[in-house]
């Protein structure tokens, strides 16, 4: 059974609950969110290709899985200048 978490995604003043598997990498998560929400993140630019999290505080980027980053149910994910 694939383990999933539900996180709160904050973007442009809106908050959306998202369900995602914990065994995907941060880069896969960012790519999927960028595609699904048309975030405008330049995937090829490492200075732009990241998201932030609270509960726990984390920088979402690279090849670590969401589980390795410590993300869990109720974590908040932010993109841009939120």
- Judge whether 56 lies within some domain: no
- Asked whether residue 26 is assigned to any structural domain, the reply reads yes
pLDDT of residue 2: 73
Q: What's the first-to-final CA gap in the chain, in angstroms?
A: 34
**Domain-located, residue 57:** no
Q: Per the domain annotation, does 58 fall within a domain? A: no
Whole-number Cα distances in Å, 37 to 10, 16, 18, 45, 47:
11, 11, 11, 18, 20
Confidence at residue 61, expressed as pLDDT on a 0 to 100 scale? 96
The number of domains in the chain is: 1
Q: How many angstroms separate the CA atoms of 39 and 80, rounded?
A: 9
Measured distance CA(20)–CA(25) in Å, rounded = 11
CATH code for position 37: 3.10.20.90
Q: What are phi and psi of 17, to 5 degrees?
A: -80, 130
Digitized pLDDT (tens) for each residue of the chain, 82 residues in all:
579 999 999 998 999 999 999 999 999 999 999 999 999 999 999 889 999 999 999 999 999 999 999 999 999 999 976 5
Range of the domain at 23: 4-51+63-78
Residue 73 within a domain: yes
């Amino acid at each position: 059974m694939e383990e999933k978490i539900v996180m709160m995604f904050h973007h442009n003043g809106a908050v959306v609950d998202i369900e995602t598997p914990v065994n995907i990498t941060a880069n896969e998560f960012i790519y999927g969110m960028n595609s699904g929400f048309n975030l405008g993140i330049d995937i090829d630019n490492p200075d732009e290709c990241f998201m932030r999290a609270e509960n726990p505080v984390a920088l979402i980027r690279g090849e670590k899985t969401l589980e390795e980053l410590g993300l869990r149910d109720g974590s908040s994910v932010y993109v841009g200048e939120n």
